[in-house]
Amino acid sequence: MAAFNEDLVFKALYENFPDPVIIIDAERVIRSANNAALRQFGYTAEEFLDRSVRLIYANDAEYERRLRNRAARVDETAAQTSTYLYVRRDRSTFSGHLRTTPLIDDTGEELALIGIIRDVSDLAEAVSARQKASEMLDAALEAMPEGFAIFDRNERLLVYNGAYRTICGPASTALKPGITAEEIMLLARQGGHYPDALPGTREGDEWIATRLRDFRYPDGHAKIFRYGDDRWLRVENIRTKDGNTVVLRVDVTDLKRAELALERQRQELEHKNEALDQFTATVSHDLKAPLRHISMFSEMIEDDLAEGNQAELIDNARHLRDSVRRMNRVIDSLLDYAQIAHRVSDWTDVRLDDIVSETLSILAGDAQEAGATFEIGPLPELQGDPELLRRLVQNLVGNAIKYRHPDRKPKILIHGGLADQIVELVVEDNGIGIDPRFATRIFEVFQRLHKDETVYGGTGIGLALAKRIAESHGGSIRLDTTFREGARFIVLLPRRLRKAS
Ligand code: ADP
């Protein structure tokens, strides 16, 4: 066996070393290169040796960077490597980590520099791909309409997106990694961001404590609460496996408003149903009264006939006819009321002047008979259904004539006004007046304060109808209870139809 030859060992190691090794002299000329170097750069030994090492740098800037590093004695060891862009003979390039070791002679002079270059293209690509992915993620997070943030196990903010910043309101300017969830909440509260946690209130303290509990011990259910300027926020906190907390904040104002509108409608419907129940009860009661009379008088007629009682027969037959008439009137007025649904069919520009003169000509006979006088002030115009509005006015004026005082001739005042796009119509009389206690009841179907038909005829539908017409126009009608010299009704109607209604 041959003697151990150290030189041979080093040579074998050098030649078989997997990474390119290049040795340059003080003039930066390539003096030696191992097989891996020749393979990596694509040169033969003849083509490679004695050339300036500039040869392997892809561009001037990179080479100059290398020279600067060298001049500054940046020690490119395994611990501290620099990455340069290298070029092969076929002009293809690759990223390489350079590690250098100087060869020093006995006098301390640097003879040569050994450089080991490791191809890190794959690594560089992976890093760049990761960088790209992370940029993509950042862009996606930023574009998300939902507020998103991550807090670490110490409740400190790690990352957040733009929507989260917006949702934090007054706390948004203080947002930075490291701030705690509690600090953010308190800043937002201080800025009046939470209507349910006004600064300095005990309820507010409790509210914040609940929010913090939700954050610390997420129960898997999203919570919805008011925030900002009459807005609604859906908050979801998710604890991740590594102990971080992911928070999602979504503005659900539109949804919440729709839900509230639905709830309002539900309640309105409930009220309407109650009103309908009451209406049915009243109607059946009022229809039964004439029916009872009819049955009673027909029995009496039967008795009269059996007894040959001619005198009473005629009277009772007349009563029977009256009851039938009354029943007819009640049914007619009821149909009338039912037909005026909560909808206006003929929506046009209406002059209240015209409506009033039309009404007065219809009621001319009654007015003359009662010796009524009218005083009519200027009246505005509005949009509405002329036929319905005429019925409304006719009911009011008709009542003003009908419920006149026995001691004085009816004097009826009709005037109007316009304020804030609301039309006001007032019908006032000097009649018997209405007890303020009945101010609401008179507008209900079949509610009559004067039951004696012989004095004041009627079915008790007129004011209910007037109310329905006013409401179908988005308006209202009421009795002015401060007026005691007779009755005064005030009708308010929007001048123009609001689309939404
Ligand atoms: P009707 O006149 O058919 O009885 P309304 O619905 O028009 O029915 O009126 C309801 C009740 O309100 C009347 O029965 C009457 O007692 C009272 N009322 C209405 N208008 C007047 C008025 N101008 N003056 C006094 N009472 C009135």
Query: To test ligand 1's pocket by mutation, which of 426, 449, 456 has the most ligand atoms within 8 angstroms of CB?
Result: 449
pLDDT of residue 458: 76
pLDDT of residue 190: 94
| SS3 (DSSP) at 372 | coil
Q: What is the pLDDT of residues 297-329, one digit of tens each?
A: 999 999 999 998 888 898 999 989 988 988 888
pLDDT of residue 39: 95
- C-alpha 497 to ligand 1 mean position (Å): 29
Q: What is the pLDDT of residues 438-467, one digit of tens each?
A: 999 999 877 777 666 667 777 788 899 899
Index of the ligand 1 atom closest to the CA of residue 459:
3
* Lining residues, ligand 1, CB within 6 Å: 395, 399-400, 403, 429, 431-434, 442, 447-450, 458-464, 487
Average confidence (pLDDT) over 79-91: 87
- Cα 256 to Cα 57, 225, 226: the distances in Å are 64, 10, 10
pLDDT of residue 500: 40
Query: To test ligand 1's pocket by mutation, which of 434, 445, 469 has the most ligand atoms within 8 angstroms of CB?
Result: 434
Q: Which residue has the higher pLDDT, 228 or 334?
A: 228
Can you tell me the distance from the alpha carbon of 293 to that of 299, in angstroms, rounded to the nearest whole number? Answer: 10
Is a pLDDT exceeding 50 seen at residue 499?
no
pLDDT of residue 414: 97
Query: To test ligand 1's pocket by mutation, which of 283, 430, 463, 491 has the most ligand atoms within 8 angstroms of CB?
Result: 463
* 98: enclosing H helix or E strand: strand 93-104
- C-alpha 192 to ligand 1 mean position (Å): 53
pLDDT of residue 323: 87
Index of the ligand 1 atom closest to the CA of residue 438:
12
Average confidence (pLDDT) over 4-33: 91
pLDDT of residue 422: 94
Is a pLDDT exceeding 70 seen at residue 264?
yes
What's the chain's average pLDDT? 90
Percent share of the chain, pLDDT over 90:
65
pLDDT of residue 275: 73
Minimum CA distance residue for ligand 1 atom 7? 462
- C-alpha 398 to ligand 1 mean position (Å): 9
Q: Which phi and psi angles does 448 have, rounded to 5°?
A: -120, 135
Weakest mean pLDDT among 39-53, 330-344, 385-399, 418-432: 330-344
Q: Tell me, what amino acid is at 251?
A: D
- C-alpha 452 to ligand 1 mean position (Å): 12
- C-alpha 268 to ligand 1 mean position (Å): 27
Percent share of the chain, pLDDT over 70:
95
For residue 266 the two structure tokens come to 């539900």
Average confidence (pLDDT) over 475-482: 96
Residue 4 pLDDT level (bands cut at 50, 70, 90): confident
CATH of domain 345-501: 3.30.565.10
Q: What is the pLDDT of residues 226-248, one digit of tens each?
A: 999 889 999 999 999 999 999 99
**Helix pair 386-402, 462-472: axis angle to 10 deg:** 150
Is a pLDDT exceeding 50 seen at residue 286?
yes
Q: What is the pLDDT of residues 130-178, one digit of tens each?
A: 999 999 988 999 999 999 999 999 999 999 999 999 999 999 999 999 9
b/e code 97-113 from CB counts within 10 Å (16+ = b): bbbbbeeeeeeeeeebb
CATH architecture of 261-342: Orthogonal Bundle (1.10)
Domain pair 6-126 / 144-251, same fold:
yes
- Give start and end residues of each alpha helix (H) in 111-192: 121-143, 162-167, 181-190
**What superfamily in CATH does domain 6-126 come from?**
PAS domain (3.30.450.20)
pLDDT of residue 246: 95
Query: To test ligand 1's pocket by mutation, which of 442, 484, 485, 489 has the most ligand atoms within 8 angstroms of CB?
Result: 442
Q: What is the pLDDT of residues 361-378, one digit of tens each?
A: 999 999 999 999 999 999
pLDDT of residue 74: 73
pLDDT of residue 136: 92
pLDDT of residue 456: 75
- C-alpha 326 to ligand 1 mean position (Å): 17
Weakest mean pLDDT among 76-90, 216-230, 274-288, 290-304: 274-288
Among 113-122, 370-379, 464-473, which range has the highest average pLDDT? 370-379
Domain spans in the chain, listed from the N-terminal domain onward: 6-126, 144-251, 261-342, 345-501
- C-alpha 455 to ligand 1 mean position (Å): 12
pLDDT of residue 498: 53
- C-alpha 448 to ligand 1 mean position (Å): 6
Can you tell me the distance from the alpha carbon of 16 to that of 259, in angstroms, rounded to the nearest whole number? Answer: 77
Residue 185 pLDDT level (bands cut at 50, 70, 90): very high
Can you tell me the distance from the alpha carbon of 184 to that of 215, in angstroms, rounded to the nearest whole number? Answer: 12
pLDDT of residue 78: 58
pLDDT of residue 262: 94
Query: To test ligand 1's pocket by mutation, which of 403, 452, 461 has the most ligand atoms within 8 angstroms of CB?
Result: 403
Minimum CA distance residue for ligand 1 atom 8? 460
What distance separates the 2 farthest-apart alpha carbons in the chain? Answer: 164
User: pTM here?
Assistant: 0.51
Minimum CA distance residue for ligand 1 atom 19? 399
Can you tell me the distance from the alpha carbon of 190 to that of 499, in angstroms, rounded to the nearest whole number? Answer: 40
| SS3 (DSSP) at 182 | helix
Q: 144-251: which CATH number, 3.30.450.20, 3.40.605.10, 3.40.980.10, 3.40.50.10320?
A: 3.30.450.20
- C-alpha 397 to ligand 1 mean position (Å): 11
- C-alpha 475 to ligand 1 mean position (Å): 20
